[in-house]
Amino acid sequence: MSLCWSHAEYVSLVRSRHDGVCFDRVEPAFHRYVASPVRSRREIWSLRHPLRRVPRGKVLRMILGAEAAIVWSRDGWARTNTTDVTNQSELNLWFADFPTADWPEGTVLEFTCFWKGDQRWQAHNWRVSVVRNQTERVERPPQSRERRPSMRGTIPDARETEPI
């Protein structure tokens, strides 16, 4: 069975080389993620992925696994704010969004959580800094469908091999 798979991969490589593009490339996925990627408007923070920086202008979405109140400050705890998380029952998670568009670059968001189910504080403060938005897009040259120059000798063409 592995010989059949190897031969199929070889045929796929030969076809890809002939066409100049990957034979089994999924075009809608290629266009979405490579040719013209769509940038997310959100940065996701979670206990397993605690961000330290967020680009200015993006929405900082905090995702938690239980109901909580997020107590936060942008001025070194001189003033505090409380944001209750919203339940997303289909995904069994809670989240809160913090838009950073009006926050100046260099703002530091400090926060902690009060877990409502357990009636306890997290006992840890996190900090997320607002940094300059680096949205300059790197332009890639358009993918050409024309045949590339031959590299004879590197991958033998199926027509050049002798039958077994």
Q: Establish if 162 belongs to a structural domain.
A: no
Confirm whether 125 is domain-assigned: yes
* pLDDT single digits (tens) 46-95: 999 999 999 999 999 999 999 999 999 999 999 999 999 999 989 999 99
In angstroms, the CA 152 to CA 35 distance is 29
pLDDT at 121: 96
Q: How many domains does the chain have?
A: 2
Q: Assess whether 52 and 123 both reside in one domain.
A: yes
Residues 83 and 119 in one domain: yes
In a domain, 113, yes or no: yes
Confidence of residue 106 (pLDDT cuts 50, 70, 90): very high
Domain that holds residue 127: 42-131
Same domain, 48 and 126: yes
* Statement: residue 163 has pLDDT above 60: no
84 plus 9 within the same structural domain: no
> Is there a single domain that holds both residue 66 and residue 113?
yes
CATH of the domain at 91: 2.60.40.10
Classify 31 as helix, strand or coil.
helix
Per the structure block, which two tokens stand in for 115? 């877990």
Q: Is the pLDDT of residue 138 over 50?
A: no
Q: What are phi and psi of 89, to 5 degrees?
A: -65, -30
Model-level pTM? 0.65
Tokens encoding 20: 């100049």
d(CA 38, CA 120): 40
Residues 70, 107, single domain; the answer is yes
Same domain, 122 and 86: yes
